[in-house]
Amino acid sequence: MALLAALPGCRRSPLPEEASADRDMAAGARIFQRKCASCHNTNGDGRTILAGHFPYANLIDGRWRSDGSAAAIERQIRRGKDPMPKFEGKLTDEEIRQTVAYVLALSKSASAPDARRAASPP
């Protein structure tokens, strides 16, 4: 038992999963602003000079060329699609996973009024 108590990190963070999800989200946000926002805009609506002509560059309107699943978003990031470059080899698997999580959260927070209401105080 003394051994358990001595293990670092076991007691300090009551919700380790939540904390690591937060970290992923923050990392995903940084990657998005660095690599994606030039086309998809900082808020994900795709209204930029580079991508404004492509309706599917809007990632927050709830409409997807694909099914909007994590797997489809990951595929798009890895393979790209003209004019979007592919990020396979430029981002690590972990960075891609974090970016997918961020894109999903971005699209959900924008397109789900219930989630917005629930998030703000009454």
Segment interacting with ligand HEC (CB under 6 A) among 2-10, 12-20, 79-87, 114-122: 79-87
| Smallest distance from ligand HEC to CB 98, Å | 10
Q: How far apart are CA 91 and CA 86, in angstroms?
A: 10
Q: Three-class SS of residue 25?
A: helix
| Smallest distance from ligand HEC to CB 122, Å | 33
Question: Is the Cβ of residue 81 or residue 116 nearer to ligand HEC in the bound state?
Answer: 81
Q: How far apart are CA 91 and CA 77, in angstroms?
A: 9
Q: Quick check: 38 binds ligand HEC (CB under 6 A)?
A: yes
By CB under 6 A, name the one of 13, 33, 43, 66 that touches ligand HEC. Answer: 66
By CB under 6 A, name the one of 87, 98, 101, 106 that touches ligand HEC. Answer: 87
Segment interacting with ligand HEC (CB under 6 A) among 5-13, 17-25, 53-61, 109-117: 53-61
Helices 70-79 and 93-111 pack at an angle, to 10 degrees, of 130
Q: Sign of the CA dihedral 81, 45, 110, 18?
A: positive
Q: Three-class SS of residue 88?
A: strand
